[in-house]
Structure 1
């Protein structure tokens, strides 16, 4: 448990190396420029986001990962509107790739908002590229420096390193259903190398 309010958890080995290889192969040939979405409308915005996204089709592997996420969250997986996930999506960031500060919830969406987010790192062979939460408090325990960039001083808050196989989980809403402002986050610019992440909403 990294934070209780907002709830932010760090998960080691959420996906295996075999699953990472499968997801990367499944993403190959599917990548296209990432869009910035408002409701049902999306557009390319190089001032706010530079990356490539690939939506993965359902199959036994991707379905199994989605079910793992639902079980972790405590959902029953009965496919009711309250317990579904969006199709899995990978995000690829090359040098200069980033996604500016944003929330995963969308106030224009009436139904089907993103209650929780899994940010799963598939490739982290890069400098930069961390996931920054400006509103999170700095950890007291130095052991967090294994997965938190304790040398990052250019940004407020906390920056999680992109460690392949691991995941950051956070809840986007309060228990009463209102949006949590404290989970604003950004994909910081990749300075060298490449980062690939898997989003589960």
Structure 2
């Protein structure tokens, strides 16, 4: 199963990188498959730790994909890293094994600390729409434009029926990113 999360990593100078990432469950552990090249991969290999954050504020997913990465952080408790202050839950991880790959190395992590901070009420259709749109934005350079357009049209239905201010704000950030990409690519 893949869980849509926010992964926080730290580089050797202490700078934190916040990235949305689908992580895979592996028994009691987590597999993270970052693409090469990526700051997340560099940080994971250097520090050998990560924090997986469960959030319900979809602005964090959209924000990270649109250059808005300044989300409040607090220190992790058992690993040298930081977590999102407003996470509903977080899991602190240590690297136990890695399988190299030229595109997406497979990194196996063992949880060393897990905390639930607040209950998860579930996602409504607008939150789901923003998450799916964020995934599309992360793949703009790999998907046919027709697929992106058709999926966005479908996702917009749920957004318009159930969105609150946070979801509309996140959707707007993603649509700006898509429009900018279209301009760069000459898509009409």
Which has the larger Rg? Answer: 2
* TM-score bracket for the superposition, by shorter chain length: under 0.3
After TM superposition, the score normalised by the length of structure 2 is: 0.22
After TM superposition, the score normalised by the length of structure 1 is: 0.21
Structure holding more helix per residue: 2
